[in-house]
Chains A and B, each alone.
Chain A
Amino acid sequence: MTIKEMTSIYSITAAGVDAIGQRYEEPEWLRQARRAAWETFESIPWPTYKEETWRRTRLTGFNLDDFTLAQESHPRADSRAALPADLLANLEKIDSGGALIFLDNTLIYADLDEDLAAQGVIFTDLRTALDEHAELVRAHLGALVPASENKFAALHYALWENGAFLYAPKNITVEKPFQVIVQFSDGKAHFHHTLLIGEENSELTVVEDFMGAANGMSDSVAEIYPHDAARLHYLRLQNLDHTAWNFATMRASLQRDALYRHLQASWGSRLSKVWIDLEMEQPGSHGELLGLYFPQDHQHLDHHTNQNHKRERATSDLLFKGALDDQARSVYQGIIRVWPGAQKTDAYQKNDNLILGPHARADSIPGLEIEADDVRCTHGATSAKVQEEYIFYLMARGLSRRTAKRMIVQGFFEEVLNRVPVPGVRTKLEDEIARRVGLE
């Protein structure tokens, strides 16, 4: 192999796409899907500010040619004790029923409660799932978020190499959360995929934590399938390096009487463009979307949400809260869509922003599209500075200015924190908030 060939197989090109299929000896349907996705990617123009979706988020400075695919593979750790100290510490903050740790595309550690495995729960990396449960993967991969969804989703389907796979059979309730930690190396492009499937009347909680990717990019997709009366909780903690570009497309499809709860905590990245879509596909489903963000310096975090009510008697509830420091910016664009015939829809959407920095700015664009007449939809957005009267009140009681400010910011997030279903995650979020406000 020539040097040129060696580098090209890890490049973001058609050759790089084909090389993945060869490297993993993938089935033909998957290779074809990759090629089709690449073509879709090439056919979609780069977004410009002329599109409403991108009007407030510019990709100035982003150049796909700056990146190559991660090529190193990493050794497997046989036990928790063999893990690097920082990963282990992160893992142990949550009492989990199973864990997966990824270093780039390599699954370096996995464990799963034996009882759960015996009951038919599958919790592994997508590569293994593809080998061992091909039909399950084939039926779900790309079925919810198609490559044509947006340019970054197309790129993702052309280039993904691994990800997390969780499957719960019918009537299985798992109390403890599953934990996924994804650590990306620097300067590379990463395409992690998350596939969560809860069969009828199952219950699952997943915490997925993304880290690293300094001067790199992450372009991820998550597809979540809560089947009839299933209850899925997905807590996604985006802790990427502050120099990383981050693109993520996520969608959950809620079947009859299903419950889906999504927590999005966005701490990292220089720029994030994130789509979260709850599809209330069948009657009686209930979707919840909680969001926290706290950009600092020049960070720019952009979230789109969609509460899509297709059928009757479904409810959805969204609360997104952000604090912004320094020159940071946030964009929140949320829509509630109620389809014709989706009567008795009850949908709520709220976005609150707390402006801490002198040059910080939060844009909030809520929207409603309602085509049914017997519905209740409420939305609202607020943006405010820390009130000097609050600071004075607390200082008059003996708190320093910093402590006063910290308490006010923590208090601002309390409404979301109170609803975090995993105590260990709540603690992590509190710590991160405290760290950002600045401990004394």
Chain B
Amino acid sequence: MTAVLEIKDLHVSVEGKEILKGVDLTIRQGEVHALMGPNGSGKSTMAYAIAGHPHYEVTGGDILFNGESILDLEPDERAKLGIFLAFQYPVAIPGVSFANFLRAAVSNVRGYKERAREQAAKSGDGKVIGSELMPMREFRKELMAKMDRFHVDRSFANRYLNEGFSGGEKKRGEVLQMAMLEPKIAILDESDSGLDIDALRVVADGINKLVADGMGALLITHYQRILNYVKPDKVSVFYDGRIVLTGGPEVAHMLEEKGYKWVEEDLAKELAAA
């Protein structure tokens, strides 16, 4: 079955201020949907709302995953469904090693914990015997393989999560996490920002590989540049808390050329006509 994430007439407020004013958007597995829009228009707000950030209050509309609302789910439950958010600004967490954290995350998302508990229940005495974590050797092997495949330096594993990472390293780290968690739908919030040309290629290449494996991607970006590497099926324009325009790759080119003034003027004309 192809997973589908549907956003329907979504309204979101932050600290009492309405930021999203009725967003409609559908993302399918295997598709790339690019989303562009001016600073402060609410793109990250939408990304956070999809991931379930507690500060972002959904005041109307719905978010459906395979037809079922996920609004009542905690962020970790959404992650387990196969939703991934690559952060625009990944946080650095002191003292938490990349490998340890990722092993716990992968184990949870792949259901090692549930299986360990089921076995415990079956064994009768209710004691959890097996580890709730993916076996270390297996995990290491997969991590190393994916570091190579996604061109991430192996030293990442032993570093602390995003601590002292350069901007580009953080973004590569997000792609590596995505590769390990194997989501069905990923929201990539400016994964191309602040990257040099080589890093941009690496990140784009990573996204392409995962899309080829069946991942659906919502690519939030300010620049046409990444779309030279990752070919979008659709491009939408986000403006003042709404999607105002959806089309093919040509939309990105228009924006690059004319800027958001073009969208504004278009909107004004539309309003005048109505």
What is A's interface to B at a CB cutoff of 8 Å?
Answer: 387-390, 392-401, 403, 407-408, 410-415, 440
Contact = CB atoms under 8 A, between A and B. Distances in A.
Given A392-B75, A396-B85, A399-B76, A411 B104 contact: no
Given A397-B177, A398-B76, A411 B160 contact: yes
Contact of A396 (B51, B100, B101, B104): B51
Interface stretch (B8-16, B32-40, B86-94): B86-94
Contacts of A398: 76, 79-80, 105-106, 108-109, 181
B52 interface: yes
B202 interface: no
Contacts, number: 83
A388 B100 CA distance: 20
A411 B93 contact: yes
A399 B95 contact: no
Contacts of A413: 95
A388 B54 contact: yes
B93 A408 contact: yes
A400 B91 contact: no
Given A398-B109, A400-B108, A407 B80 contact: no
Nearest to A411: B95
Nearest 10 A/B pairs, CB to CB: A414-B95, A411-B95, A398-B79, A411-B96, A395-B75, A398-B109, A397-B105, A398-B108, A395-B76, A398-B105
B52 A396 contact: yes
Given A396-B52, A398-B108, A410 B91 contact: no
A398 to B, nearest CB: 4
A411 B51 CA distance: 24
5 contacts: A393-B90, A396-B84, A396-B85, A396-B87, A399-B108
A390 B94 CA distance: 10
Contacts of A440: 132
B53 interface: yes
Given A398-B80, A398-B109, A398-B181, A390 B53 contact: no
Contact of A407 (B85, B91, B104, B132): B104
A418 to B, nearest CB: 8
A420 to B, nearest CB: 14
Given A395-B79, A398-B79, A407-B101, A390 B108 contact: no
A414 B97 CA distance: 10
B74 interface: yes
Contacts of A392: 51, 53-54, 75
A415 B97 CA distance: 12
Given A407-B104, A411-B160, A397 B181 contact: yes
B104 A403 contact: yes
Nearest to B83: A396
A415 B75 CA distance: 29
B105 A399 contact: yes
Contacts of B100: 407
A394 B53 CA distance: 11
A394 B51 CA distance: 11
A440 B90 CA distance: 26
Interface in B96-116: 96, 100-102, 104-106, 108-109
A207 B51 CA distance: 47
Nearest to B85: A396
Contact of B96 (A387, A389, A395, A407): A407
Given A403-B104, A407-B96, A396 B90 contact: no
A414 B94 contact: yes
Given A403-B104, A412-B95, A393 B87 contact: yes
